[in-house]
């Protein structure tokens, strides 16, 4: 059962929100501190984590900053607002209006994965600073391809990517950045296990950075240029988000898992329903969730376009902090418990209510993560839509669902099957989220169960979730179904096969589908036959949220910066095809743009996977010239319904999108791209913005943009513009030329004019909107945000 209410001004709900943390039996153990006694606290330097002797908790400062804003606004705050306003750079002078103001914030941390870290560090190096000004880490997880098994795949990746790993390791050592070597695990799991803490603000160069919201913080995915700003000690800019409240009542049971909450929310809000908003969960149902279960929900909030997601601090988080050897953080969080939840009377811009008692397990897909189907309707939907029902591959793990609880529940299902003489009918893969998880499930027996079940252990890395999968069981173009506990399932995302029907669900259902080998199987109602032909039903999954024997850390995979960093050198070979020193983009020429060809009018979804594919292209993430060879090669051309085939308006020849863009650039011809709704949804990869800038683009004109991509375009000196009248998208033709008028007087809130010159027919005009503020306009004029920073 669920309800959607908008806007939220329900007194009884708001009172429930304000009180739910401290009314439950678990939460009464939390110590509290009032704002009146704040001044009496002598805050010792309590470290943020076990790895750094230079980063400390700032709860007292955050509350003091928040109190300045309280006096100004004189209203109750949501939990998300408390974190944001407690991290303001200028709490006295900052304009604050949800959905309108641009906030200047001071994040506590920066986290980068290896694919995006390359470009981020190359940009940071150009700033000429001796070290990062904000605690930062780099995590090697994206460059390891799943092929034959964890150990061999890891060894192969280290060999192939040796140049990149050496660059990252030496750059991290040089600039005082923590470095997690390949094999350590996926960035989001490592952050949750080691760095996340309640009430913190962190940015990360990956769209699933919000995973850390499971520990009561705001963790926000950004592009590399944003990360560079914060690394360099500059305030970070974010448009003040609206707040969507999700009230959870009841308790999960049986086959329903935390993943089903976000699968349900995705079905309600769709892939763009969370754009420009933070999703804040609350209600008594929260206390029934494990900390890692909350992280799962926050992780996949990226699929609804949300800025981030979070939960209020509770004892499940405190228990997880203690289990991961951070009891000192929990002690401080307990003192500031009142600060780590919403105020009484706080208002939401939208409210969703979900009754966990009646929530069904869900399966979302194919081809989009918001096509939500309850398990009771899955058989009917599969048949009606002609989805392949033979499940070829079942994949559990990834940054979304690789906790000890996830692995334990999946193992209980696999063991039940083994007890009845059954093994996986589908190919079955297991991706531990971290070396700590791998070592712990190896010690406690879950890994042995998976292996007996027929499972293949993959490396502690992203693997198939991001397209790093050398899949060989089907041919490209062959229609087939895979089911995973991952977060994203766009066309071709996992295996580069556009005919693969990818579904996302909980690890529980993935394991059940692997046993049945059939997408129509419902473990709640359907029976299986054991080795003797007797019918039986799978038992409901079971599994502890935390290991009874504690976590086994496994192999040591962390590299701390050396005490003497002056002797470290960072070299980038000029002949390298993996790394390339960046050259500044040229500043704007000061004029409006006339007679611009449309490089491509994209049709349908245009995600960052369409704009700048991952998979085999990941190896070029540190080399802008080479990575630009994949620009828009996955987008469908509205002119001919083909990918990577566009017409050169000067030669009349058809060629690839990057080739045509290069021709225009080399002939001093600016160009534009035209796109549809939520352009650039998906990954945070800033290469999707760097590439069009490198190839001579001037503007991207769309019906609407995903938040991160729009910001990335602005940072790189591209103009992200939207049709004031969305119907103009349908009217414009791929072979039209356009003028963009009004750039010379670009100002916040002032529309530009698009003059369209059809190949045949009359010239027509339409308005273009934008979201630039004064500072962002300066980025455009300077040629990029990095140029502006360097000039300062």
Asked whether the beta carbons of 245 and 350 are under 8 A apart, the reply is yes
Q: Which of 108, 206, 416, 736 is catalytic?
A: 206
Residues composing the chain: 792
Q: Which of 114, 141, 338, 508 is catalytic?
A: 141
Would you give the end-to-end CA distance of the chain in angstroms?
55
d(CA 738, CA 726): 17
Helix (H, G, I), strand (E, B) or coil at 385: helix
For 33-84, give the secondary structure using H, E and C: CCHHHHHHCCCCCCECCCCCCCCECCHHHHHHHHHHHHHHHCCCCCHHHHHH
Contacts of 104 (CB under 8 A, 6+ apart): 88, 89, 90, 94, 235, 236, 237
Q: Which of 398, 612, 683, 704 is catalytic?
A: 683
User: Alpha-carbon torsion 100, 105, 110, 116, what sign?
Assistant: positive
Q: CA torsion 677→683→684→689, rounded to 10°?
A: -60
Q: For the chain, how big is the Rg over CA atoms in Å?
A: 25
User: Around Cβ 531, how many Cβ atoms within 10 Å?
Assistant: 9
Asked whether the beta carbons of 514 and 394 are under 8 A apart, the reply is yes
Helices 162-175 and 114-126 pack at an angle, to 10 degrees, of 50
d(CA 686, CA 483): 29
For residue 284, the surrounding DSSP H or E stretch is none
Supply the DSSP string of 166-181, one letter for each residue.
Answer: HHHHHHHHHHT-EEE-
φ and ψ at residue 606, rounded to 5 degrees = -130, 90
φ and ψ at residue 512, rounded to 5 degrees = -65, -40
Helix (H, G, I), strand (E, B) or coil at 421: coil
Q: Which of 188, 578, 685, 687 is catalytic?
A: 685
Asked whether the beta carbons of 635 and 645 are under 8 A apart, the reply is no
For residue 118, the surrounding DSSP H or E stretch is helix 114-126
Q: How many helices (H) and strands (E) does the chain have?
A: 25, 33
Is 685 marked active-site? yes
The tokens for 422 are 């059954």
Asked whether the beta carbons of 205 and 221 are under 8 A apart, the reply is yes
Closest CA to 179 of 295, 46, 51: 51
Helix (H, G, I), strand (E, B) or coil at 679: strand
The tokens for 291 are 């900390």
Contacts of 40 (CB under 8 A, 6+ apart): none
The tokens for 581 are 């020193």
The whole-angstrom distance between residue 593's C-alpha and the CA centroid of its chain comes to 34
d(CA 127, CA 790): 6
Q: Which of 70, 109, 142, 326 is catalytic?
A: 142
**C-alpha separations of 608 from 301, 635, 680, 709 in Å:** 17, 10, 5, 8
Helix (H, G, I), strand (E, B) or coil at 620: helix
Helix (H, G, I), strand (E, B) or coil at 664: helix
User: Around Cβ 419, how many Cβ atoms within 10 Å?
Assistant: 11
φ and ψ at residue 284, rounded to 5 degrees = -65, -20
d(CA 512, CA 522): 8
Is 683 marked active-site? yes
Contacts of 556 (CB under 8 A, 6+ apart): none
d(CA 705, CA 717): 16
Is 488 marked active-site? yes
Catalytic residues: 141-142, 206, 488, 683, 685
């Amino acid at each position: 059962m669920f309800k959607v209410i908008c806007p939220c001004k329900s007194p009884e709900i708001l009172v429930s929100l304000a009180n739910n943390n401290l009314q439950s039996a678990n939460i009464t153990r939390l110590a509290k501190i009032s704002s009146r006694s704040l001044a009496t606290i002598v805050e010792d330097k309590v470290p943020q984590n076990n790895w750094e002797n230079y980063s400390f908790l700032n709860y007292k400062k955050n509350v003091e900053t928040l109190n300045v804003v309280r006096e100004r606004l004189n209203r109750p705050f949501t939990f998300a607002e408390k974190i944001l306003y407690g991290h303001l750079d200028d709490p006295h002078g900052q304009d604050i209006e949800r959905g309108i103001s641009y906030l200047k914030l001071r994040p506590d941390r920066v986290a980068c994965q290896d694919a995006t870290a390359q470009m981020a560090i190359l940009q940071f190096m150009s700033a000429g600073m001796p070290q990062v000004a904000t605690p930062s880490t780099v995590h090697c997880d994206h460059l390891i391809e799943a092929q034959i098994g964890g150990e061999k795949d890891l060894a192969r990746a280290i060999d192939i990517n040796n140049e990149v790993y050496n660059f990252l390791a030496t750059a991290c050592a040089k600039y005082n950045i923590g470095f997690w070597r390949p094999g350590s695990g996926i960035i989001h799991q490592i952050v949750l296990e080691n760095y996340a803490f309640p009430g913190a603000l962190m940015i990360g160069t990956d769209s699933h950075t919000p995973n850390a919201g499971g520990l009561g913080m705001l963790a926000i995915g950004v592009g590399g240029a944003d990360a560079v700003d914060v690394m360099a000690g500059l305030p970070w800019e974010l448009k003040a988000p609206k707040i969507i409240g999700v009230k959870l009542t009841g308790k999960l049971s049986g086959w329903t898992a935390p993943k089903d909450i976000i699968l349900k929310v995705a079905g309600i809000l769709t892939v763009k329903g969370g754009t420009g908003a933070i999703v804040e969960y609350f209600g008594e149902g929260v206390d029934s969730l494990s900390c890692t279960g909350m992280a799962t929900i926050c992780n996949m909030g990226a699929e609804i376009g949300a800025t981030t997601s979070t939960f209020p601090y509770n004892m499940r988080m405190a228990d997880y902090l203690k289990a991961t050897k951070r009891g000192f953080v929990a002690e401080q969080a307990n003192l500031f418990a009142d600060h780590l939840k919403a105020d009484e009377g706080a208002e939401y811009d939208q409210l969703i209510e979900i009754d966990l008692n009646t929530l069904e397990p869900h399966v979302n897909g194919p081809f989009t993560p918001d096509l939500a189907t309850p398990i009771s309707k899955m058989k009917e939907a599969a048949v009606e839509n002609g989805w392949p029902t033979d499940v070829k591959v079942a994949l559990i793990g990834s940054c979304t669902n690789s906790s000890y609880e996830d692995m334990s529940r999946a193992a209980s299902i696999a063991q039940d099957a083994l007890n009845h003489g059954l093994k996986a009918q589908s190919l079955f893969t297991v991706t531990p989220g971290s070396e700590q998880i791998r070592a712990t499930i190896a010690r406690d027996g879950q890994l042995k169960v998976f292996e007996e079940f027929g499972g293949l252990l993959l490396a502690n890395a992203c693997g198939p979730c991001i397209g790093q999968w050398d899949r060989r069981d089907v041919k490209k173009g062959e229609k087939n179904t895979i089911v995973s506990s991952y977060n994203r399932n766009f066309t071709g995302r996992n295996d580069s096969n556009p005919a693969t029907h990818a579904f996302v669900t909980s690890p529980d259902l993935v394991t059940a589908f692997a046993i049945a080998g059939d997408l129509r199987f419902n473990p709640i109602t359907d029976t299986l036959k054991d080795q003797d032909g007797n019918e039986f039903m799978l038992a409901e999954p079971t599994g502890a949220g935390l290991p009874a024997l504690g976590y086994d850390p496994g192999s040591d995979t962390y590299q701390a910066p050396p005490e003497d960093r002056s002797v470290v050198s960072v070299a980038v070979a000029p002949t390298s095809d993996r790394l390339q020193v960046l050259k500044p983009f040229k500043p704007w020429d000061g004029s409006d743009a006339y007679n611009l060809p449309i490089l491509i009018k994209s049709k349908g979804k245009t995600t960052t996977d369409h704009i700048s594919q991952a998979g085999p292209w990941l190896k070029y993430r540190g080399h802008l010239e080479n990575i630009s060879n994949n620009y828009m090669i996955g987008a469908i051309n509205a002119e001919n319904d083909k990918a990577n085939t566009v017409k050169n308006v000067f030669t009349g020849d058809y060629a690839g999108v990057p080739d045509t863009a290069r021709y225009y650039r080399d002939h001093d011809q600016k160009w534009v791209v035209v796109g549809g709704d939520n352009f650039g949804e998906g990954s945070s990869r800033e290469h999707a913005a760097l590439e069009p800038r490198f190839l001579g683009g001037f503007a991207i004109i769309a019906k609407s943009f995903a938040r991160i991509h729009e910001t990335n375009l602005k940072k790189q000196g591209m103009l992200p513009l939207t049709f004031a009248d969305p119907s103009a998208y349908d009217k414009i033709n791929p072979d039209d030329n356009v003028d963009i008028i009004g750039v010379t007087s670009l100002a916040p809130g002032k529309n530009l004019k698009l003059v369209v010159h059809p190949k045949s027919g009359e010239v027509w005009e339409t308005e273009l909107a934008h979201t630039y503020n004064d500072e962002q306009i300066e980025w455009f004029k300077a040629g990029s945000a990095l140029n502006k920073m360097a000039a300062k």
